[in-house]
Structure 1
Amino acid sequence: MLGGIPTAEHLSRAELLVGQRTGEVGLVHSWELVTAVDGPGTRMTTFLAGCPLRCLYCHNPDTFSARGGVPVLAEDLLAQIRRYRGIFAATGGGITLSGGEALAQPAFVRTVVRAAREWGVHVTLDTSGFLGRNCDDDLLADVDLVLLDVKAGDEPTYHRITGGRLAPTLDFGRRVAAAGVELWIRFVLVPGLTDAPETVAAVADYAASLSTVTRVEVLGFHQLGRDKWAELGLDYQLTDTPTPTAAELAAVRAVFTDRGLTTY
């Protein structure tokens, strides 16, 4: 069981691969019921395993590999979602699919999202946008809100943080806005890494260019994931990086509010 959800660890490798292709099976790291986090209202946030990026400040490096998850049938995850429909309706909440990177498992996401929407459940997709190409128009049409993690506003900084390219994230955000889907932009302030004025300004300019952005969250870097990196034998490069001060966070938030963006 995974927090009360049956797992499908009995499946053979062949059955697992077929199930992943059809969207009947996903690799799930964990899930939690949260309020005022990962979208509006009370939400069931499901963390899928596997991510193509290697963000230096990731606090869940145990989701990098798909092996960090256990197989779960879509029907069993949906049964758990169904149990909370009353809570979602009462609080204006719903489900959030996160990771890792949710779009690393697009078939599973599509299956879960389609059923949730048919039940009238609010759907949020939490993503870096790096695999935005995996989100086709039909899937995007079933999403109410995208939480887009914009890690930097310039290619060199983005590559230093993630090992990947910034362009796919920017392209995906534009697609989401063009489709009329609500966007929340998330930006993590990391002293010495993402705090350069030109980096912050570039992210703010990008957010302001997207017509469906209703909220920006400037999140302060923290060290809560450091021990996980050590346990996994991974090289953690930010040991000596401080958390940003309240004044530093306020100054960065002001860059976004100056562009007319509602910022927290």
Structure 2
Amino acid sequence: MSNRRLEGKVVVITGASSGIGALMGEGVAREGGIPVLMARSADKLEQVASRINGEYGLYRLDVTSSEQVFAVMEQVLARYGKIDVLINNAGYGVFETIEKAELATIEDMMDVNYMGTVRCTKAVLPAMLKAGSGHIVNIASMAGKIGSAKSSGYSATKHAVLGFTNCIRQDLMKAGISVTAVNPGPIDTPFFERADPSGQYVSNVKWFMLRPEQVTEAVITAIVKRKAEIDLPLMAAAGIRLYQLLPRLFDRVAHRMLNKK
């Protein structure tokens, strides 16, 4: 009997060309699964695929295109006959105060981060419902639970992802399909090359940042154990609970700690 935790599982990963998406592809392969990597950049996907030992799939995908999302997921189903796990990881952030933030940027973040998650979920759901099994993992964020300055656009997208995740978990409770929300704090990935080009925020929170490998392992464990939600790191998870109990007091006390952008 294999001791690899995802043996034979077909695992679709969006936003797989860099950061935790790329590492999750490698992690799934190590655990005996078949990572199906998706992102807009075919060249970057090829680079990720070169580090994977074993079978994998590779598809160019723009999650803002409904037509493309449904067509690509159909191709995956035609090739493998199933999708066991969908990891909705595609997303990005831009940190700016609300008065300076461009409306077009806020709209695009919502289209990628939230609607991309919705599109991909809708595209794989009929096959999972027919099979009576499956697992949808949505990479949200601590920013979806606690607001901070310069995060209005990004945080709103992650609030939306969390709301969507919690609702479909109820919808699918008796369908044999698990739904997981993953809420990491800041991760040391290329995400911040776009979100924080000055490097100020990264410099201020470097001590607190998660290693991408930590998040990857947490996601794989959540899939295996079918956890409903994980918050990372533990310190931030404790802060979330305090915020939920005393939100206005937390706002005042944590203002200087949170607003490092």
Could you say whether these structures have the same fold, taking a TM-score greater than 0.5 normalized by the shorter chain as the test?
no
Q: Which has the higher strand share?
A: 1
Task: Indicate the TM-score class for this superposition, using the shorter chain for normalisation.
Answer: 0.3 to 0.5
Relative to total residues, which structure has the larger helix share, 1 or 2?
2
Greater length-normalized contact order (CA 8 Å, ≥ 6 residues apart): 2
